Amino acid sequence: MIENIRLSFQGIWAHKMRSFLTMLGIIIGIASLISIVSTIKGTNEQIKKNLIGEGDNVVDIYLSDNGSEYQIEYQGIPQGVPVISGEQKEKLLDLEEVEHATLYQARQYASGIYYKDKSINGGKVLGIDRDYLDTCGYQVVRGRGFSHKDYENYRKVILLDEIAAGSLFEKGEEIGKTVEIMGEPFTVAGIIKKIEEFEPVINSIEEYNTYYSSNGGLVLMPTTTWPIVYQYDEPQMVSVKATSPETMSAAGKKGAKILNESITSPTGTIQYEAKDMMEKAKGLQQISESTNRQLLWIASISLLVGGIGVMNIMLVSVTERTGEIGLKKAIGANKRRILGQFLTEASVLTSIGGILGVFAGIVLAAGIAKVSGTPMVISIPAAVGAVIFSTVIGIVFGLLPSIKAANLSPIEALRRM
């Protein structure tokens, strides 16, 4: 075997241009496969990040009415939906898929928030418990967070994110200022930001409008002061932080089931539901993969063409080396040895093409990732499999020329020398 491999490299080196042109079909085919697999994986990663963010694993559980999110500011307080109890929150925290949990009231579109002649429009106002910042991945970057006394003494203090703060104040001048919310004065205690910043890739004007309309700023107040502004104790929304992206769906579904146990709505249409972004991501990934699989089949055609090219050049090689084959048989080489030599040469030729194709595919995948803005994800198993597959192509398409060489009559072969 070692001797056959050495002879194969000698033959390839002796006909460098012809060997390269023979490998070209294999190189193009493997490069196409590697780049397409990378694009599939990169697209899937981008879909996942766009929907669930950069690894915060937070699942929102919200009230819905017939499948649509229930808007308390427009629909009023729903009947039969009590305030979530401390016991229910403990049950949420006891779920093996849940790391943290938080309860909060929400107004999805902020209005009536003013500082002098400036206002916030389009942001969110939340009444949060003590666990909100840790669960949802926020940190205080200026000022302070809410203290126990803020909750116990019903202090009218707020936290602003940097978007909301930028709408009302010059940077660095926010702390201690008084902001009016629905006519009630609140003191700015601190400025918050996400611990891990993430912005999705925006590919259309619709995605731009959707993303930025939901990012008009965030105003947080202690949940105990919420009724001062909005007059009622309201059913809360819930966010749970799952232990991993893989457990997000289970955490959301189990959490919603716990919360629905206390609902006695007379309509029977109001219930808690989880925003299962992981399931949505999987659905979009499946659509993406089914489309790209078709590209994989098309790319495989070039491997078939490359295999035919290998067969053709090996037939030419057998014809050129007829005398050599006859001489080897005359001194005792059997059919198996001749067959092994030519099969080895064909597989070495395609293996080199496969290796070069993998490197070309990585370069191509990097170019596609840069142009499309998706992450570059190279699959090691796919790269190894591509090289093995190219070797198999050499064996399959080199079989006919090898058999022809092995079956040559030594007398006929020596006569052609």
Average confidence (pLDDT) over 339-346: 77
**pLDDT grade, residue 282 (50/70/90)?**
low
Q: What's the chain look like in SS3?
A: CHHHHHHHHHHHHHCHHHHHHHHHHHHHHHHHHHHHHHHHHHHHHHHHHHHHCCCCCEEEEEEEECCEECCHHHHCCCCCCCCCCHHHHHHHHHCCCEEEEEEEEEECCCCCEEECCEEECCCEEEEECCCHHHHHCEEEEEECCCCHHHHHCCCCEEEEEHHHHHHHCCCCCCCCCEEEECCEEEEEEEEEEECCCCCCCCCCHHHHHHHHHCCCCEEEEEHHHHHHHHCCCCCCEEEEEECCHHHHHHHHHHHHHHHHCCCCCCCCCEEEEECCHHHHHHHHHHHHHHHHHHHHHHHHHHHHHHHHHHHHHHHHHHHHCHHHHHHHHHCCCCHHHHHHHHHHHHHHHHHHHHHHHHHHHHHHHHHHHHHHCCCCCCCHHHHHHHHHHHHHHHHHHHHHHHHHHHCCCHHHHHHCC
**pLDDT grade, residue 254 (50/70/90)?**
very high
Q: What's the pLDDT at 208?
A: 39
Min mean pLDDT across 44-48, 124-128, 266-270, 310-314 is at 44-48
Min mean pLDDT across 40-44, 71-75, 302-306, 327-331 is at 327-331
Q: What's the pLDDT at 296?
A: 66
Min mean pLDDT across 125-134, 235-244, 322-331 is at 322-331
More reliable by pLDDT, 349 or 214: 349
**pLDDT grade, residue 326 (50/70/90)?**
low
Q: What's the pLDDT at 312?
A: 78
Q: What's the pLDDT at 73?
A: 77
Q: What's the pLDDT at 258?
A: 93
- pTM here is 0.60
Q: What's the pLDDT at 285?
A: 53
More reliable by pLDDT, 1 or 406: 406
Average confidence (pLDDT) over 358-373: 85
Average confidence (pLDDT) over 163-180: 90
Average confidence (pLDDT) over 169-193: 91
**pLDDT grade, residue 131 (50/70/90)?**
very high
Residue 211, pLDDT > 60, answer no
Residue 339, pLDDT > 80, answer no
Mean pLDDT (the chain) is 79
pLDDT single digits (tens) 347-358:
888 888 889 988
